[in-house]
Amino acid sequence: MKRMIIFLFFAALAVSAQAGFEDEVIFSRSRTEYEMVTLTRRIGGLNRPWAAAFPGENQYLITERAGRLLFIDENGHRHEVSGLPDDLVAINQGGLLDIVLHPEFEENGWIYMTYSQGTRAATATTLIRARLDGTTLVDVEQLFTQDRTSSPGRHYGSRILFTDSNMLLMTIGDRGTHPERAQDPLDHAGTVIRLRDDGSIPEDNPFVGNPRYLPEIFSYGHRNIQGIAMHPITGEIWATDHGARGGDRLDRIDAGRNYGWPVATPSLNYRDGTPVSDTRVGFGYVPPVFEILPTLAPSGLAFADASTFPRWEGDLLAGGLASRQLQRMVPAYGPLSKFKDGQRRITIEGPYLAHSEILLINQIGRIRDVRTGPGGNVYILTDESNGGLYRLTP
């Protein structure tokens, strides 16, 4: 009996430790170049969280890569959500990955998630949607799975972006073992795909009707996009893509374009440091808007909310894993004239990166996700065994 009482006492302590929001101030009134900000840890004790969504006031849905979906209610209590697919396989970089709410979530209740589907021998990046009934997923529908499985563990991509109420983009990595797949337009690896919200293929996709391309493909030649965001005014799509050793890039994603991986890249091979390609930029391949150096190891990407951070209007907030950074990036638009050798003028058309600022570095760990959430505040997830959800506020 005494052992049982002691067990129940410590069990109660463990539950209470999971209850309530932490709201631990990491720093207060820190001055950046243009804004004064405060960073707090809202939720701690997360196991390798991958993405967060906001179903209600002070409510959170958080995916953990190992295969757990958490619902945190308005009182900060944590509930594990049941009903995830049985074929979810969590190995290395794979597992339960992105989560977003339908733009009309309050009316239809749809929640969209990506995960690595398959067996311990072979997996594919897969998109589902479901509704939440209490703490159980219901009406689960598989909307898409990539056409070819791969040995599990690497480069799933897996970010979801709604461009309007009926259309979404989803990133798929090159899956790591055969990078050349990103140049095969009959392979989903290394692509951004475009679907309707029910998983069907829009007729105005750039390659519909062309037998040499899969109709879902919106763009290709990517390595492993894990950050994607839409400009709130122009509707432009921006993404951050992992290079190998070097070659991380900021891109504007345009329909039907080839972004070059692995035939046009400055990346070096991990094994011996030799160039992946003999060209950095090639004809017919879209060069990066900016080659991110030193390495960012890019993750989540979001546009700052101008009503909350007015002096960051139009700026991107980019997370970094190995770099443990949050950067503010300022896209600008051409033409921009440069001089070479003091004589010949070079004019750059289109977007370029005008400025960047490191907002966080080595303060909270590996940054996995960056989202603009309720109130226009910035929410950040850390990819740690004791990860957390952080909130950046004015």
Cα 16 from Cα 312, distance rounded (Å): 38
Q: How far is CA 365 from CA 85, 176, 263, in A?
A: 30, 25, 33
* Placement of tokens 């952080």 in the chain: 390
CA angle 300, 306, 308 (to 5 degrees): 90
| Distance from C-alpha of 364 to C-alpha of 382, rounded to nearest angstrom | 7
Distance of CA 307 to the CA centre of its chain: 23
Task: Report d(CA 242, CA 299) in Å as an integer.
Answer: 8
> How far apart are the C-alpha atoms of 225 and 222, rounded to whole Å?
7
Annotated catalytic residue: which of 102, 155, 222, 242?
155
Quick check: 100 and 114 in contact, CB under 8 A?
no
Which of 313, 307, 309, 306 has the alpha carbon at shortest distance from 331?
313
CA distances from 50 to 208, 275, 289, 394 (A): 32, 31, 26, 25
Alpha helices in the chain (DSSP H): 2-17, 105-108
CA nearest neighbour of 194 among 179, 182, 206: 206
Nearest to 354 by CA among 326, 316, 297: 316
Inter-residue contact 251 to 243 (CB < 8 Å): no
Closest CA to 367 of 375, 359, 355: 359
* Annotation marks residue 79 as catalytic: no
| Number of other residues whose CB lies within 10 A of the CB of residue 210 | 13
Between CA 36 and CA 393 the distance in angstroms is 9
The encoded tokens of residue 294 equal: 């030193």
Which residues are marked as active site?
Answer: 155
